[in-house]
Amino acid sequence: MTYRTTITLDDEAATFLQEKGGGNKSAFISQLLRDERQRALRAAVISANLEEAQDADYQDKLSEWDITLDDGLFDELPPA
């Protein structure tokens, strides 16, 4: 699905869009928005990871799960 919108650009932005957008300015703007969305998502994930890394209580619980996962359940494989 596509949407039509009207935007107002200053002279500098309009010139840049004309130079870089070429014949399909809509596709160029859409790609810029997709790239920015991806950048924002990466930044949010990094921020969440840093927050988790600095949370001592979370790290303790994570360590407990690591111990649980390594408790030897798979040391002996069942016969094939």
pLDDT digits (tens, 9 = 90+) for 20-71: 999 999 999 999 999 999 999 999 999 999 998 898 998 888 888 877 777 7
What's the rounded Cα separation, in Å, for the pair 55 and 24? 47
pLDDT confidence bin for 80, thresholds 50/70/90: low
Asked if pLDDT for residue 75 goes beyond 70, the answer is: no
At residue 9, the pLDDT reads 97
Q: Which residues contact 9 (CB under 8 A, 6 or more apart)?
A: 17
With 70 as the cut, is the pLDDT of residue 10 above it?
yes
Question: Nearest-CA neighbor of 29 among 60, 6, 57, 62?
Answer: 6
